[in-house]
Chain A
Amino acid sequence: MKIMVCIKQVPHQDARLDVNGAGTWIQEENIKFEINPYDQNALEAALQLKDKEAGTEVVVVSIGPERVTQSLRTALGMGADRAVHVKDGAADGSDSLGTAKILAAVAKAESPDLIFAGFMSDDGNLAATGPMLATLLGIPHTTTAVSFQKNGAIQVERELEGGALEVVELNTPCLVTTQTGMNQVRYASLKGIMAAKKKPIDVKTVADLGLAGQVGADAAKIKIEKLYTPPKGQGAEILSGSVDEVVGKLVGKIKELGLL
Chain B
Amino acid sequence: MIEWSEQHQMIRDVVRRFIEAEVVPNVEALEHGDMPPYDILRKFYSAFGMAEMQRARFAKMIEREKKGEPAKKKSDAEGEGGGDAAAMQLIPIIELCRHCPGMVTAMGVSVGLTAASILSKGTTRQKERWALDILTLDKIGAWAITEPGSGSDAFGGMKATAKRTPDGGYLLNGNKTFITNGPYADTIVFICKLEEDGVAPRDRKMLHFVLDKGMPGLVQSKPMRKMGLHSSPTGELFLSDVKAGPDRLLGEQEPTAADGRSGAKSTFQTERSGVAAMALGMIERSLELSLAYAKERVQFGKPIGEFQLIQEKLARMEVARMNVQNLVFRTLELASQGKSMSFAEASAMKLYAARAADEVCQDAVQIFGGNGYMAEYKVEQLARDARVLRIYAGTDEIQIGAIARDLLTR
Q: Is the interface of B mostly helix, strand, loop or mixed?
A: helix
Which residues 63-119 in A have Cβ within 8 Å of B in the complex?
70, 73-74, 77
Annotate B1-30 by CB proximity to A: 1 below 8 A, 0 otherwise. 000001100110010011000000000000
Stretch in B48-56, B193-201, B218-226 touching the partner: B48-56
Does B88 have its Cβ within 8 Å of any Cβ on chain A? Answer: yes
Given the complex of chains A and B, what is the CA–CA distance between A192 and B11 in angstroms?
Answer: 10
Does A139 have its Cβ within 8 Å of any Cβ on chain B? Answer: no
**B7 near A187: Cβ-Cβ < 8 Å:** no
Given the complex of chains A and B, what is the CA–CA distance between A186 and B17 in angstroms?
Answer: 11
Which residues 38-59 in B have Cβ within 8 Å of A in the complex?
47-50, 52-53
Given the complex of chains A and B, what is the CA–CA distance between A189 and B84 in angstroms?
Answer: 13
**A190 near B50: Cβ-Cβ < 8 Å:** yes
Complex contacts, B84 vs chain A, CB 8 Å:
194
**A191 near B6: Cβ-Cβ < 8 Å:** no
**B88 near A190: Cβ-Cβ < 8 Å:** yes
Given the complex of chains A and B, what is the CA–CA distance between A188 and B7 in angstroms?
Answer: 11
**A187 near B47: Cβ-Cβ < 8 Å:** yes
Does A199 have its Cβ within 8 Å of any Cβ on chain B? Answer: no
Given the complex of chains A and B, what is the CA–CA distance between A193 and B10 in angstroms?
Answer: 7
Complex contacts, B17 vs chain A, CB 8 Å:
187
Given the complex of chains A and B, what is the CA–CA distance between A186 and B18 in angstroms?
Answer: 10
Complex contacts, B6 vs chain A, CB 8 Å:
70, 73, 197
Nearest opposing residue in chain A for B84, CB measure:
A194
**A190 near B18: Cβ-Cβ < 8 Å:** no
Q: Which of B10, B52, B88 contacts A188 (CB 8 A)?
A: B10
Nearest opposing residue in chain B for A188, CB measure:
B14
Closest Cβ of chain A: how far from B368's Cβ, in Å?
A: 23
Complex contacts, A193 vs chain B, CB 8 Å:
7, 10-11, 14
**B10 near A189: Cβ-Cβ < 8 Å:** no
**B53 near A186: Cβ-Cβ < 8 Å:** no
Closest Cβ of chain B: how far from A93's Cβ, in Å?
A: 28
Interface size on B, residues (CB 8 A): 16
Given the complex of chains A and B, what is the CA–CA distance between A27 and B261 in angstroms?
Answer: 60
**B48 near A74: Cβ-Cβ < 8 Å:** no
Given the complex of chains A and B, what is the CA–CA distance between A73 and B6 in angstroms?
Answer: 10
Complex contacts, A70 vs chain B, CB 8 Å:
6, 10
Nearest opposing residue in chain B for A73, CB measure:
B10
Given the complex of chains A and B, what is the CA–CA distance between A141 and B47 in angstroms?
Answer: 32
Nearest opposing residue in chain B for A77, CB measure:
B10
Nearest opposing residue in chain A for B21, CB measure:
A187
Which residues 196-227 in A have Cβ within 8 Å of B in the complex?
196-197
Annotate B81-96 by CB proximity to A: 1 below 8 A, 0 otherwise. 0001000100010000
Complex contacts, B47 vs chain A, CB 8 Å:
186-187, 189
Given the complex of chains A and B, what is the CA–CA distance between A192 and B6 in angstroms?
Answer: 14
Given the complex of chains A and B, what is the CA–CA distance between A102 and B394 in angstroms?
Answer: 61
Complex contacts, A197 vs chain B, CB 8 Å:
6-7
Closest Cβ of chain A: how far from B89's Cβ, in Å?
A: 9
Nearest opposing residue in chain A for B56, CB measure:
A191
**A74 near B53: Cβ-Cβ < 8 Å:** no
Closest Cβ of chain A: how far from B95's Cβ, in Å?
A: 12
Nearest opposing residue in chain B for A34, CB measure:
B13
Residue in A74, A77, A190, A191 with the greatest tally of chain B CB atoms within 10 Å: A190
**A187 near B48: Cβ-Cβ < 8 Å:** yes
Closest Cβ of chain A: how far from B270's Cβ, in Å?
A: 19
**B7 near A191: Cβ-Cβ < 8 Å:** no
Annotate A229-256 by CB proximity to B: 1 below 8 A, 0 otherwise. 0000000000000000000000000000
**A192 near B88: Cβ-Cβ < 8 Å:** no
Complex contacts, B88 vs chain A, CB 8 Å:
190-191, 194
Nearest opposing residue in chain B for A74, CB measure:
B10
Complex contacts, B53 vs chain A, CB 8 Å:
189-191
Nearest opposing residue in chain A for B5, CB measure:
A197
Given the complex of chains A and B, what is the CA–CA distance between A197 and B230 in angstroms?
Answer: 38
Complex contacts, A74 vs chain B, CB 8 Å:
10, 14
Given the complex of chains A and B, what is the CA–CA distance between A252 and B14 in angstroms?
Answer: 54
Given the complex of chains A and B, what is the CA–CA distance between A83 and B88 in angstroms?
Answer: 24
Closest Cβ of chain B: how far from A43's Cβ, in Å?
A: 14
Nearest opposing residue in chain A for B13, CB measure:
A74
Complex contacts, B7 vs chain A, CB 8 Å:
193-194, 196-197
Closest Cβ of chain B: how far from A118's Cβ, in Å?
A: 18
Closest Cβ of chain A: how far from B85's Cβ, in Å?
A: 9
Given the complex of chains A and B, what is the CA–CA distance between A193 and B88 in angstroms?
Answer: 10
**A187 near B10: Cβ-Cβ < 8 Å:** no
Nearest opposing residue in chain A for B91, CB measure:
A190
Nearest opposing residue in chain B for A194, CB measure:
B84
Closest Cβ of chain B: how far from A10's Cβ, in Å?
A: 15
Nearest opposing residue in chain A for B92, CB measure:
A190
Nearest opposing residue in chain B for A69, CB measure:
B6
Complex contacts, B11 vs chain A, CB 8 Å:
190, 193
Can you give 28 contacting A-B residue pairs, CB < 8 Å? A70-B6, A70-B10, A73-B10, A74-B10, A186-B47, A187-B17, A187-B18, A187-B47, A187-B48, A188-B10, A188-B14, A189-B47, A189-B48, A189-B49, A189-B50, A189-B53, A190-B49, A190-B50, A190-B88, A191-B53, A191-B88, A193-B11, A193-B14, A194-B7, A194-B84, A194-B88, A196-B7, A197-B7
- Known contacts A74-B14, A188-B14, then 14 further A-B pairs from the complex at CB < 8 Å, ordered by chain A residue: A70-B6, A187-B18, A187-B48, A188-B10, A189-B48, A189-B50, A189-B52, A190-B11, A191-B53, A191-B88, A194-B7, A194-B84, A196-B10, A197-B7
Binding site for B on A (CB under 8 A): 70, 73-74, 77, 186-194, 196-197
The 4 A-B residue pairs with the shortest CB-CB distance, nearest first, are A189-B49, A190-B88, A187-B47, A190-B48
